[in-house]
Chains A and B, each alone.
Chain A
């Protein structure tokens, strides 16, 4: 239990969530699918803008750590907006709406949304 992989005895009575393994509850938001795709995420992104900018900055810092010249981030900001137009709707319009509301460069919002495929690299 105190050596890697720190396998514990099966836990019990952890529910309702409490204690050091529980950081907090999760807020609910409604996404109205009757709205135009570019407007659907406005309420959520307005609330979470600061956290989203912070997270994107952490990925940017990571990219700069790999390529200190900043060229990698530049590449993302220049090429991925072109990728946005190739994505199927409604995703392309929804991603553009998120970039508009958050003020984050479109290429970086695209990168966040295709990260699963990119990360396999």
Chain B
């Protein structure tokens, strides 16, 4: 996965993501594609969650999955999550749960609860940073005011790091793939470098949902695991998604 929150030179916050899933879950040699990724694509839907006939939040989901991986609380905040690998992983959280220790939250139920109940970027940030989880994760959160964009690096029990947009440091965007931002990504799976190269080439002056889509369409940021691309703009409440393909030659991940 690749998630980006960027602030343009007018103070608009833009949030884009590629959802990559299905690694090592069966390779279709004939079609050069991942079996599960291909089965997930027809399940991609945009959802408008309403209460009293008013939109509470919107999301891009796989039908049948009640948690959230990509969502927007219009005019308030945008949220995506990327997978984080750690030896202290989800299987430990599941074991604890089975043994009756149930003080942690399932990752996608937390994101659903935050989108449904949090009413500000700060409130969402606090909940995502402090709630105990069953598995580690990256939460990428965008707000509705200048400087409100961050990557929350989570272990199961701790908030390990928070990296925020900081215009004084000329950090006008934050970008997360699936590696801790202070570490080098696995050389076999470096989607961060090409994505950052393209962001820096576009510049803050020209970043928009359109140019963000261009970046999310550039291989290997776009790869055989990419099921959908979502673009969100908090100020308009706009969420749009597209089902993707990656024509050969294309990286398997």
**A67 an interface residue at 8 Å Cβ cutoff?**
no
Verify B50–A32 contact, CB threshold 8 A.
yes
Instruction: Assess A116 versus B47: contact at CB under 8 Å? Given A23-B41, A52-B64.
Output: no
Which of B143-151, B168-176, B209-217 lies on the face that meets chain A?
B209-217
In the complex, identify which listed stretch (B7-15, B119-127, B242-250) lies at the interface while the others stay far away. Answer: B242-250
Question: Is B90 interfacial (CB 8 A cutoff)?
Answer: yes
Of the candidates A13, A24, A65, the one whose C-beta lies within 8 Å of that of B243 is A24
Q: How far is the CA of A45 from the CA of B47 in the complex (A)?
A: 12
Cβ–Cβ contact A2 & B214, under 8 A: no
Q: Contact between A98 and B83 (Cβ–Cβ < 8 Å)?
A: no
Determine whether the beta carbon of A21 is less than 8 Å from that of B246. yes
Residue of A nearest to B49 (CB): A31
* B interface footprint on A49-88 (CB within 8 Å = 1, 0 otherwise): 0011011001101100100000000000000000100111
A11: chain B residues within 8 A (beta carbon):
198, 214-215, 217-218
Query: A15 touching B107 by the CB < 8 A rule?
Result: no
- Of the candidate stretches B72-80, B91-99, B159-167, the one touching chain A is B91-99
Q: Is the CB of B51 within 8 A of A33?
A: yes
Of the residues B197, B210, B228, contact of A26 by C-beta under 8 Å: B228
Is B251 within 8 A of A23, CB to CB? no
Closest to A51 in B: B42
Residue of B nearest to A79 (CB): B98
C-alpha spacing A114/B39, complex, angstroms: 18
Known A-B contacts A11-B218, A55-B39; the reply to A117 vs B249 at CB < 8 A is: no
Closest chain-A Cβ to B199's Cβ sits at a distance in Å of 9
Chain A interface, >50% SS class: mixed
Interface size on A, residues (CB 8 A): 63
Cβ contact within 8 Å between B93 and A14: no
Q: In the complex, which residues of chain A have a beta carbon less than 8 angstroms from the beta carbon of B60?
A: 26
Check B36 against A58 for contact (C-beta < 8 Å). Answer: yes
Chain A nearest Cβ from B76, distance in angstroms: 17
Q: Smallest distance from the beta carbon of A106 to chain B beta carbons, Å?
A: 12
Whether A7 contacts B219 in the complex (CB less than 8 A), given A26-B46, A28-B45, A112-B64, comes out as yes
Q: Could you write out 25 A-B pairs with CB less than 8 Å apart?
A: A6-B219, A6-B249, A10-B197, A10-B201, A11-B218, A13-B214, A14-B214, A22-B243, A23-B243, A26-B46, A27-B46, A29-B45, A31-B48, A34-B52, A45-B64, A47-B63, A52-B64, A55-B42, A58-B39, A91-B109, A98-B64, A113-B65, A117-B94, A117-B106, A119-B83
Which B residues contact A (CB, under 8 angstroms)? 25-26, 35-36, 39-52, 56, 60, 63-67, 83, 85-86, 89-91, 93-94, 97-98, 102, 105-109, 112, 116, 134-137, 188, 190, 194, 197-198, 201-202, 209-211, 213-215, 217-220, 222, 228-229, 240-247, 249-251
Given A14-B213, A86-B97, output 5 extra A-B contacts at Cβ < 8 Å.
A10-B194, A10-B215, A83-B97, A102-B64, A118-B91
